[in-house]
Amino acid sequence: MKEILREIGMIARALDSISNIEFKEFDLTKGQYLYLVRICENPGIIHAQLLEMIKVERSTATRALQKLETNGFIEKKDDPHNKKNKLLFPTEKANAVYPFIKRENAHSDGVALHGFSEEEAETAFDLLQRIRKNVEKDWESVKKGNKRDY
Amino acid sequence: MKEILREIGMIARALDSISNIEFKEFDLTKGQYLYLVRICENPGIIHAQLLEMIKVERSTATRALQKLETNGFIEKKDDPHNKKNKLLFPTEKANAVYPFIKRENAHSDGVALHGFSEEEAETAFDLLQRIRKNVEKDWESVKKGNKRDY
DNA sequence: CTGCTTTCATTGCATTTGCAACTAAATATT
DNA sequence: AATATTTAGTTGCAAATGCAATGAAAGCAG
């Protein structure tokens, strides 16, 4: 079995580490950029949807979002149709930072795909999407307490 | 630019999260399995090499390795040729756990590549290796304090 | 061989992370 | 309608993480 998981882990840690260093200049601490971009792109998204999008722990997200709110990057509003839900919105400050995050992320994508033909880049993206879809099923199951057999 | 970095981040977080849950049964806490497998496969490796292999912070690795030592999974020995270096060796306990970690990781690779032809799996692996090599250059540079331009 | 730089590793401290337990609202079951 | 289950989100607490500063050996320059 091809050890793709190791490669993916290395790539993810390296890029996340770089991003965290680069976003400190915007007063975004560890991991916060992940939430911020999604909220900017999906204003009004709820906590639980964000979790599924990013694949993080509920409680981890709660603290990250609390901090983003404290630091004026996002606003939580009550959902008029469902009192359980808290809708997440970007503030002006978030929208101002968003393009820089996008640019940095695009640069990292560019670095990652350096030397790739258009076609190879396309292939890489397609294969990764398929891998992600395969993996997220297991993630959701294990998170709910189910055991995997192997 | 294809947003491969997002896909990779999702996959990595999901799989890491699953592994951490599954390895708790062996008294391995967060992230420790990463170090353990590499030490089992490269007995006598030094701290710094391990960092490059895994792409983690120096200090993070130091604590993780301390804990692995305390819990009897690894042994640190002085390098007779270089007093700076500490050589890392797996204990019996580590070697006993190793096959389970490998099996779990292989299962995850299998899940990730579900529905992939032999050829597609090969392609995915090759592309990921290229991406990893591209990315690790930037990681090493940024870690040394250099700035990226974008 | 003396001072300077790099490499390898650890530690202090503040922050983030994550399991487990919890509240509360929505939805399903009887 | 009353009760049980699921869904959404938070919090306590213990542990992991990571920046900055430090120590100490190795390697290099003059």
Reported as a single tens digit per residue, the pLDDT across B67-100 is 999 999 999 999 988 999 999 999 999 999 999 9
Query: Closest-CA residue in chain B for A117?
Result: B127
- Nucleotide lying nearest to B31, CA to C1' measure: D16
Predicted confidence at residue A93, as pLDDT, reads 95
Q: Report the alpha-carbon distance of residue A118 to residue A148 in Å, rounded.
A: 37
Answer whether B41 touches A (CB < 8 Å).
no
Q: How confident is the model at residue B53 (pLDDT cuts 50, 70, 90)?
A: very high
Burial class (CB in 10 A: 0-12, 13-18, 19+), A75: middle
Q: How confident is the model at residue A100 (pLDDT cuts 50, 70, 90)?
A: very high
**A138 neighbourhood in chain B, CB within 8 Å:** 14, 18, 108, 111
Predicted confidence at residue A131, as pLDDT, reads 97
- Gap from A86 CA to chain B (nearest CA, Å): 23
What pLDDT, in 10s, does the model give residues A19-52? 999 999 999 999 999 999 999 999 999 999 999 9
- Nucleotide lying nearest to A143, CA to C1' measure: C19
Q: What is the mean pLDDT of residues B39-48?
A: 95
**A16 neighbourhood in chain B, CB within 8 Å:** 9
Percentages helix, strand, coil for chain B, rounded to the nearest 5? 65, 10, 20
Query: Closest-CA residue in chain B for A103?
Result: B150
Q: Is B11's CB within 8 Å of A121's CB?
A: no
Q: Report the alpha-carbon distance of residue A95 to residue A90 in Å, rounded.
A: 6
Q: Report the alpha-carbon distance of residue B86 to residue B78 in Å, rounded.
A: 5
**Residues paired with residue A75 on neighbouring β-strands, in sequence order:** A89
| pTM, two decimal places | 0.94
Pseudo-torsion of CA B128, A53, B61, B143, nearest 10°?
70
Q: Report the alpha-carbon distance of residue B13 to residue B81 in Å, rounded.
A: 39
Q: Provide the mean pLDDT of chain B.
A: 94
